[in-house]
Structure 1
Amino acid sequence: MKTLLTALLITTSVIAQAQLGIFNETADIGSPKFQGSAQYDARFGEYQLTGGGTNVWSSHDEFRFVYKKIKGDFIFNAETRLLGRGTDGHRKGGLMVRAELSDDAQMATAVTHGDLLSGFQYRPAKGSEVVSKMSEITQADILQLERHGNTFTVKIAQKGDTLSTVSTAEIAMPGELYIGLFVCAHHAEQLEDASFHNVRIYRPAPDDFRPYRDYIGSHIEMLDVFTEQRDILYSEKGSLQAPNWIPDNSGFIYNADGLIYKLKFGQTKPEVINTDFATRNNNDHVISWGGEMLGISSSSGEQEYGSLIYTLPFAGGVPKRITPTGPSYFHGWSPDNRWLTYTARRNGQWDVYKCKADGSEPEINLTNNEKYDDGSEYSPDGQYIYFNSVRTGHMQLWRMKPDGSEQTQLTFEENMNSWFPHISPDGRWIAFISYGDDIEPGDHPFYKHVTLRLMPTDLSAPPRVIAYLYGGQGTINTPSWSPDSRKILFVSNTIIE
């Protein structure tokens, strides 16, 4: 514990401790009458802040802050809740960046209030009045604050909904800022509490990023689809893609740098699965039902074909080529492991195909549609093949019988492009990734604002968001459900130094 300079107008001591999660320090900013605190519970990924202070407003602020320094652009997300009934309807909490730790510093916040108002509040210059832009959305608990150069944007949502932009502002802030979580009681004689879950600070790809040539860092995360708690299992500075949960529940596999890796739960050192000559493997790989075999997509054959499909024992070995021509991208085994389903381009057209798992018979075109079809996967009971298609304008989810009949559209969203439906082992749920309307319907690029969403297979409820993240290509291309149908694995992306 150390005493801060009074010139900073921070009336309490700064606590630098490992218990603050992704942040380094916590302090009261300004001169609250009562000292606040900050705690982090790693079991639940929860931050809890207690703070006093009269306001974050006008030309001076008083509040509790947990923070660290950050340089450059960022995307800052968190689920935010003010706890209890509170004393003042204007009590507030949320996400903040500050140019300094002084009480009159330039700052920007994504904020929620006790009276249910949420929005964007910022001080454009040191000592100036705060500008407030409130949203029509009330009771927002998902907050996002983004910086791109000197452009700051706030988006909010009620949990389960997609994010909506509140406002954007040009603020000439320094390149390095203090970034963190805050709570303010809006009452000199009170302390108030706020909790924050699934706190993520993404450092996005630079503007001159070159797709499929440049890569940033990766987190492999585990998500409980019912509690929506997220845990980072493994991270690297490079590109990790498409985790598959191993059916015996021992760990997961993923691809990186053309190879397939296996990592057991609780361990930190991945091991390479021997794929012999196949060393240019992409993110379309799937473990067979029961876990005995592995299907991969690899550009290790003739160059003119691009990606081809191979199978090999899960323990490793020499891959057996299944598709005679390409490009072909593997997406799923039938529950009896007798069939493979995949996306392939034939005669200039992308369609869903299936073939015998041993490659003994000619492939069968299931969709034969001039528009782009992709992401095929069998349901656990073998009654359907789910896929995504752009044939009605936006990329939507579909399903059909395994013989290609009864092709039926499942989603009808005009502002979303949804990919890669993955069916839970109990057959009840569809997990998938969605891009916004800013992406071409037939594209699923790296490094974008995306959401993971969940809907029941009986279509009794609309899709709901279960994770807000920065990712895209490689996030959840292939099946990643846990055997108990409760959790999924996925990849999020950020610059890691």
Structure 2
Amino acid sequence: MRAFVMGGCMALALGLVAQAGYVNLLSLDLSPDGNLLLFVQMKDVYVKTVGGEDLRQLTDEGGVIWARFAPDGSHFYYIAFQNGHYVVKRGEVDGDTRETVLAEEGVNFFYAVPFPDGKRLVVISDREGQTDLWIYHLEEKAFTRLTNTTGLEATPDVSRDGKNIVFVALWEGMQSWDIHLIRLEGEEVNYDIVTEDPFFDWAPRISPDGKWIAFESTRSGDSEIWVMRTRENGLYLTRITKDSWRNAFPVWSPDMEMLVFGTRRDGEDAWTISVTETY
């Protein structure tokens, strides 16, 4: 069984703004090969080599709040404010093409994450009057609804085999944001509440082997990175970071040996991007 420990954290080379790092970090992702960082800061998308200085700005729209790599690693999906609402767009990492792939009049789309097959997106939308989790089929341009619950959903992630979706929700009657897991088993859709407590849980990411979830949580009093088993593998919580700063947006390396995450010190606007060993 994999053993997780509080590893020593190393700041990645930054060289951007506000001395310590990035301002208003909103999302963070690693390319499928683990070589590139994709992140949103100051409402636009940036990319850089892990540990490198080759920072590039990929969008210049000023209203971006989320970005994720496509499975091919050469494209990315992002959420941008356009014509009064949030839409899903797609861009080239090494090119200038930017296109809108999902937009409806009067409708907002948030937190788009591609499935590994590249044919579907999981997305949160208010297209039926309340925010819910949906699957959008890119070729058919059709939707499959996954939730129909009063409240809010956010920060989904899809497992490498495409069979599990993890997300956080603040539904009616809940004390705080909790982690939920959807299992797609053929035509069946099964739901699990992974955490149910008064703590703030955010931005869960499923490990490449599908057995672990890394996430941000305030269960220790501070906002730290935690790792736990998925419910079918037995709940097993391990605290990865231990400091008084906000640690957020964890991402697994492809080999699961490292976790990359953002850190913001108290009283500072700037974030650093750090990496820690998982065992």
Scaled by the length of structure 2, what TM-score is found?
A: 0.80
SS in 1 for 2:200: strand
Selected match of 2:12 from 225, 233, 236: 233
Distance in 2, Cα, partners of 1:383 & 1:489: 24
Indicate the residue corresponding to 2:123 in structure 1: 342
Whether the 8 Å CA contact 1:351–1:374 is kept in 2: the answer is: no
Within a 5 Å distance, the mapping from 1:384-423 to structure 2 comes to 384-391=164-171, 393=174, 394-402=176-184, 405-413=189-197, 415-423=198-206
Q: Which residue is equivalent to 2:261?
A: 490
Q: Distance in 2 between matches of 1:356 and 1:492?
A: 35
Bigger radius of gyration among the two: 1
Q: Which amino acid aligns with 2:134?
A: Y
Q: How many residues align?
A: 252
Distance in 2, matches of 1:286 and 1:400, equals 20
Equivalence map 1:279-290=2 (5 Å): 279-282=62-65, 284-290=66-72
Distance 1:363 1:244, change over 3 A: same
2:5, 2:210 → 1: CA distance? 15
CA offset digits 1:216-244 (Å, max 9, x no partner): xxxxxxxx964522111145423334221
TM-score by length of 1: 0.47
Q: Which residue of 1 aligns with 2:157?
A: 377
CA 1:245–1:400 in 2, change beyond 3 Å: closer, same or farther?
Answer: same
Check conservation: 1:399, 1:408, Cα contact below 8 A: yes
| Aligned twin of 2:36 | 251
Say whether the 8 Å CA contact 1:342–1:375 is kept in structure 2. Answer: no
Instruction: Decide whether the 8 Å contact of 1:367 with 1:404 is kept in 2.
Output: no
* Partner of residue 260 from structure 1, selected from 45, 50, 53: 45
- Structure 2 counterparts to residues 68-467 of structure 1, below 5 A: 226-235=5-14, 236-237=17-18, 238-273=23-58, 275=59, 278-282=61-65, 284-299=66-81, 301-303=82-84, 305=85, 307-325=86-104, 326-358=107-139, 360-391=140-171, 393=174, 394-402=176-184, 405-413=189-197, 415-435=198-218, 449-457=222-230, 458-467=232-241
Runs of 4+ in 1 over 6 A off after TM superposition: none
Shift, 1:338, TM fit = 0.9
1:473-484 aligned within 5 A: 475-476=248-249, 480-484=251-255
Deviations 1:8-65 (A, max 9, x none): xxxxxxxxxxxxxxxxxxxxxxxxxxxxxxxxxxxxxxxxxxxxxxxxxxxxxxxxxx
Q: Deviations over 1:298-329 (max 9, x none)?
A: 11x211x1x21111223233322122233211
| Uncovered stretches (5+) of structure 1, i.e. residues with no partner | 1-223, 439-448
Aligned-residue offset at 1:420: 2.1
Q: Is the 8 A contact 2:252 2:259 kept in 1?
A: yes
Change in Cα spacing, 1:404 to 1:329, as seen in structure 2 (3 Å) is farther
Spell out, residue by residue over 1:372-393, the C-alpha distance to the aligned partner (whole angstroms, 9 max, x if none). Answer: 2222221111112112222351
Amino acid at match of 2:130: Q
Q: Quick one: percent identity of the two aligned structures?
A: 18
Cα deviation digits, residues 381-411 of structure 1 (max 9, x gap): 1112112222351322111134682111112
Structure 2 gaps, min length 5: 271-279
Q: Equivalent residue of 1:488, what SS? A: strand
> Using a 3 Å threshold, how does the CA distance of structure 1 residues 381 and 226 change in structure 2: closer, same or farther?
farther
- Mapped to 2, the partners of 1:331 and 1:435 lie a distance apart of 25
> Structure 1: how far apart are the matches of 2:69 and 2:214?
18
- Residue 347 of structure 1 and its aligned partner are, at CA, apart by 4.4
Give the distance between the partners of 1:487 and 1:308, measured in 2 at CA. 32
Corresponding residue of 2:245: 470
Decide which structure has greater strand share. Answer: 2
Q: Distance in 2 between matches of 1:329 and 1:268?
A: 30
Larger RCO, structure (CA 8 Å, separation 6 or more):
2
Greater shift in the superposed pair: 364-373 or 455-464: 455-464
Distance in 2 between residues matched to 1:296 and 1:421, nearest whole Å = 18
Sort the Cα spacing of 1:336 and 1:316 in 2 relative to 1 into closer, same or farther, 3 A.
Answer: same
CA contact (8 A) 1:278 1:319 kept: no
Letter in 2 for 1:353: W
Aligned amino acid, residue 490 of structure 1: F
Please report how far the alpha carbon of residue 346 of structure 1 lies from its aligned counterpart in structure 2 after TM superposition.
3.1
Amino acid paired to 2:246:
G
